[in-house]
């Protein structure tokens, strides 16, 4: 998330800063902060690129962005409520120095909502500091269901057209052999380069795209699980559920219960 020109996060002389916006406006520019950053999606959904990986934040989920991690916002739903909270991090505990995307448990949700009263407070406040210190201190314990769910963006320019095709046609059956012909590479060579750059095979990458888009549809509340399955390219709800569970380690119905 990038603060607008009115507030310079790194210039603030306070250990914590809370920022709530009803409809957050982003400038889609890569940036970083010296403070760590917690982004909570109260409603809607949000895509964020962090260190060249794309993460989806569904409703009632949050992401912890470590200090100095380069990130930007990609896109979001039409109506989105975000709570952004910044914190000075002076501990070497591993949690605070890696990206974590997680479902927000009820107690943390209430703490975040309570902290809204300090939104955009520029001066240091003793009660704010005590409350947020306790909250951030317990953050690793709240994160029991970290998703670690993302797709990586390849740096190799030879893959640009491949990535574009996968993102535009993920819901259709893709002939990977023909796809390799379009970039003048053998399928074997393309698969090797692609996996080296993204950590995934071409077919696994397509599966991840389908699941990511399905999470977007489910969190928007506009489609049922069945409708979502067909919308992202599965021929049956059973096939979608199997694919979803293999990636997420839980079922679409579990996800729906969590965001309600």
Provide the residue range defining the domain that includes 225: 154-259
Same domain? 124 vs 227: no
In whole angstroms, what is the distance from residue 108 CA to residue 131 CA?
Answer: 12
Nearby residues of 217 by Cβ (< 8 Å), 6 or more positions away: 223, 227, 228, 231, 232
pTM of the predicted structure, to 2 decimals: 0.78
Angle 101-215-192 from CA coordinates, rounded to 5°: 75
What is the pLDDT averaged over residues 200-219? 91
C-alpha of 78 from chain center: 17
H or E, element range at 45:
none
pLDDT at 152: 83
Question: Would you state the pLDDT for residue 233?
Answer: 96
Q: Does residue 205 register a pLDDT over 70?
A: yes
Read off the pLDDT band of 260 (50, 70, 90): low
Q: Give the strands of the sheet with 81-87, arranged side by side.
A: 16-21, 81-87, 36-43, 61-65, 100-103
Indicate whether 64 and 165 sit together in one domain: no
- Range with lowest mean pLDDT among 84-98, 108-122, 131-145, 181-195: 131-145
Within this chain, do residues 129 and 174 fall inside the same structural domain, yes or no? no
Work out the mean pLDDT of the chain and round it to a whole number. 88
Q: Give the number of domains in the chain.
A: 2
Tell me what pLDDT residue 78 has: 66
* pLDDT confidence tier of residue 250, bands split at 50, 70 and 90: confident
Residue 80 has a pLDDT of 78
């Amino acid at each position: 998330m990038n603060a607008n020109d009115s507030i310079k996060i790194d210039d603030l002389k306070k250990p914590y800063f809370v920022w709530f916006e009803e409809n957050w406006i982003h400038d889609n520019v890569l940036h970083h902060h010296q403070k760590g950053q917690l982004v909570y999606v109260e409603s809607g959904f949000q895509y964020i690129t962090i260190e060249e990986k794309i993460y989806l934040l569904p409703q009632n989920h949050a992401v912890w962005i470590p200090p100095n991690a380069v990130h930007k916002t990609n896109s979001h739903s039409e109506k989105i409520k975000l709570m952004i909270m910044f914190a000075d991090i002076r501990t070497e505990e591993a949690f605070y120095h890696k990206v974590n995307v997680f479902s927000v448990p009820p107690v943390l949700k209430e703490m975040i909502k309570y902290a809204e009263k300090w939104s955009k407070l520029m001066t240091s406040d003793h009660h704010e500091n005590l409350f947020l210190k306790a909250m951030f201190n317990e953050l690793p314990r709240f994160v029991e269901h970290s998703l670690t769910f993302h797709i990586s963006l390849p740096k190799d320019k030879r893959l640009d057209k491949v990535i574009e095709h996968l993102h535009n046609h993920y819901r259709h059956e893709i002939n990977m052999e023909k796809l390799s012909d379009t970039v003048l590479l053998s399928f074997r060579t393309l698969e090797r380069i692609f996996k080296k750059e993204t950590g995934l095979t071409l077919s696994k990458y397509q599966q991840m795209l389908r699941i990511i888009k399905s999470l977007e549809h489910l969190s928007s509340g506009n489609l049922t699980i069945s409708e979502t399955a067909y919308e992202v390219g599965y021929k049956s709800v059973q096939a979608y559920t199997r694919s979803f569970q293999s990636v997420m380690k839980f079922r679409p119905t579990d996800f729906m219960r969590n965001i309600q």
